[in-house]
Structure 1
Amino acid sequence: MSTDARPVLSLQDVHLSLNGNTGPITILQNITLDVTRGETLALVGPSGSGKSSLLMVMGGLERASGGEVAAMGQDLTRLDEDALARFRRHHMGVVFQSFHLIPTMTALENVATPLELSGARDAFDRARAELEAVGLGHRCDHMPAQMSGGEQQRVALARAVVTQPDILLADEPTGNLDQANGAQVMDLLFDLRDRHNSTLVMVTHAPELAARCDRVVRLRDGRIHGDAAQEAAE
């Protein structure tokens, strides 16, 4: 998909430190990175390199200790928690490795929740349409515990895109799935991204998933150690 030159995400000299038992621990340092509209970007690197932390900083789910983080032209570092939540609700969808579905809600209710929080009157109609788009129209009334891991991740994907987000963030979206379900979720992720024209940033250890992205950023020890554009797989 074509991109334009405007950064939808922009990080300038971002640092992240967290307090440990023996004092501050540096997680990210000197991260400067722009992501353009419509781009698909993979964050790769060994465990502990800072990939997931960087994704969380991009989404305002973790506050940077220093530097600037902007999304859609909005400086996330200046927003309080309520404002960040509203911003994500309108502009971002997030998919986690461990699904994070609400166990007491049906698949339909889980997907409709972001729309209900935004005051959408057609929340359940739109949620049903997204579940049908991921092949789970017949599972609308099922609870997460009644579904397989692959089905739960497909519900999570539907929930992430139901608001038609500008930015889609995915943290190891196939990490808890077997090969067959992982491949299915991988295809759905890119199909949904194309349908909603979202910018996609994902953390992955799967080479085949990274190979489908326009660009791969490699992290090591909390720093960027590689940033390369590539031909995305058809």
Structure 2
Amino acid sequence: MSSILSLKDAVLALDSNAGRIEILHGISLDVQAGETLALVGPSGSGKSSLLMLMGGLERATSGTITALGYDLSAMDEDALARFRRENMGVVFQNFHLIPTMTALENVATPLELAGRKDALDRAKAELEAVGLAHRADHYPSQMSGGEQQRVALARACAPSPRLLLADEPTGNLDQSTGKTIMDLLFDLHAKRDTTLVLVTHSNTLAERCERIVRLRDGRIDAALTAVEATA
């Protein structure tokens, strides 16, 4: 397998009233094309911050981040937005759906921004893939948390991204609904050969991944295969 995402000595530091706070300390990590990778660790360990760096949603203070052969640190905000739209899907814990848009419109939005003439047809197919064709005309406020997360997953997958990033995708869901989302994530990964990187506190979800990276205090504490992690 070849590397689809590579971080070399990536540092993330933010300025605050209390002074400069270093959140990530010299992270070096390669993600292979087609693999499933879980980022785990205690709250405040830097998991979500690392995922945001991977997606170009945060800029590294120093070090390099390369995705699909492109240096994310060298891109301006417009170029990053285009790159994400064409190559990445992102799923958040809090869904981030547009409340004034229907499920269909939410899923179609990234496709329309990309100039896809078949945006609505593609969005309908994606909603059907996550079992929500019957909810196409419903607004987020009319759907359960699990349904909203399925819409968010459909939206992330609609442009056929090479890389899918998920930040606590089951964090706001009950156990049964969370399992449904987990199954959908891995089913979509398998069918579309998408590289999946997810942040989770769920051992069950992490152990379904091929590799688990543990963070502690903004540093990589361990990088193990799922078999090694459960041994």
- For 1:195 and 1:125, the matched residues in 2 are separated by 19
- Counterpart position of 2:147: 151
- Counterpart position of 1:160: 156
CA deviation profile, 1:109-129 (whole Å, cap 9, x unmatched):
000001000000000000000
Q: Is the 8 A contact 1:161 1:196 kept in 2?
A: no
Task: Map 1:116-135 to 2 at 5 A.
Answer: 116-135=112-131
Task: From 197, 204, 217, give the equivalent of 1:201.
Answer: 197
- Counterpart position of 1:177: 173
Once the 2 structures are TM-superposed, how far is the Cα of residue 76 of structure 1 from its aligned partner? 0.1
Q: Which runs of 5+ in 1 are unaligned?
A: none
- Counterpart position of 1:68: 64
- For 1:138 and 1:230, the matched residues in 2 are separated by 37
- For 1:161 and 1:179, the matched residues in 2 are separated by 23
- For 1:135 and 1:71, the matched residues in 2 are separated by 31
Q: Which runs of 5+ in 2 are unaligned?
A: none
Q: Is 1:93 the counterpart of 2:89 in the alignment?
A: yes
- Counterpart position of 1:226: 222
Task: Give the % identical residues.
Answer: 68
Q: Which runs of 4+ in 1 moved over 3 A?
A: none
Q: Is the 8 A contact 1:43 1:217 kept in 2?
A: yes
CA deviation profile, 1:164-220 (whole Å, cap 9, x unmatched):
000000000000001111010110011111122110000000000000000000000
Aligned residue identity for 1:191: D
- Counterpart position of 1:47: 43
- For 1:216 and 1:223, the matched residues in 2 are separated by 14
Once the 2 structures are TM-superposed, how far is the Cα of residue 230 of structure 1 from its aligned partner? 2.6
Once the 2 structures are TM-superposed, how far is the Cα of residue 231 of structure 1 from its aligned partner? 4.5
CA deviation profile, 1:90-132 (whole Å, cap 9, x unmatched):
0000000000000000000000001000000000000000100
- Counterpart position of 2:21: 25
Q: TM-score normalized by structure 1? A: 0.96
- For 1:126 and 1:195, the matched residues in 2 are separated by 16
Q: TM-score normalized by structure 2? A: 0.98
